[in-house]
């Protein structure tokens, strides 16, 4: 199911509730359709039969150049928590399951709110 640009509330890898907006590109959660699997497994490299999909949630804030009365200015923005899905591809189920176990225990690094939605994707699931 592709839920881009929607709000999502789920549990982080630390077991805490985490709420964020799904990124504007794409965002997948189970149950995966055949089109979702094709995108995840084949869009980047057709030779890997297994993939791990996980989400990194960060605060989307920074500076943007804009104008005020025709004068260029730098303005701060804060769009709140936003989740970006990452995909890692694997050749064997064994190495994919090892990485899945590792990613399901991730704790946030500096600048990251948390990690969530860690899934193993293959043609069979």
Question: What are 53-76's pLDDT values in tens digits?
Answer: 999 999 989 999 999 999 999 999
Structural domain boundaries, residue 58 = 7-122
Look at residue 41 and tell me if it is in a domain. yes
Least confident span in 28-42, 50-64, 92-106: 28-42
Assign 2 a pLDDT band (cuts: 50, 70, 90): low
- Total domains, the chain: 1
Look at residue 94 and tell me if it is in a domain. yes
CA 123 vs CA 46, 48, 51, 97, 109: distances in Å: 12, 11, 10, 15, 32
- pLDDT above 70 for 4: no
Beta strand extents in 44-70 (DSSP E only): 50-68
Sign of the torsion formed by the C-alpha atoms of 23, 111, 99 and 9: negative
- pLDDT above 60 for 104: yes
Look at residue 1 and tell me if it is in a domain. no
Look at residue 74 and tell me if it is in a domain. yes
Look at residue 62 and tell me if it is in a domain. yes
DSSP H or E stretch at residue 114 = strand 112-122
Look at residue 2 and tell me if it is in a domain. no
């Amino acid at each position: 199911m592709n839920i881009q640009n929607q709000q999502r509330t789920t549990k982080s890898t630390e077991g805490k509730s985490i709420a964020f907006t799904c990124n504007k590109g794409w965002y997948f959660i189970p149950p995966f359709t055949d089109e979702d699997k094709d995108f995840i497994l084949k869009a980047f490299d057709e030779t890997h039969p297994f993939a791990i999909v996980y989400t990194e949630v960060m605060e989307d804030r920074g500076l943007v150049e804009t104008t005020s009365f025709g004068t260029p200015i730098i303005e701060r923005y804060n769009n709140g928590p936003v989740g970006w899905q990452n995909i890692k591809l694997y050749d064997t189920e064994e190495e994919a399951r090892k990485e899945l176990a590792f990613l399901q225990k991730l704790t946030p690094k500096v600048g990251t709110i948390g990690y969530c939605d860690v899934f193993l994707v293959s043609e069979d699931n």
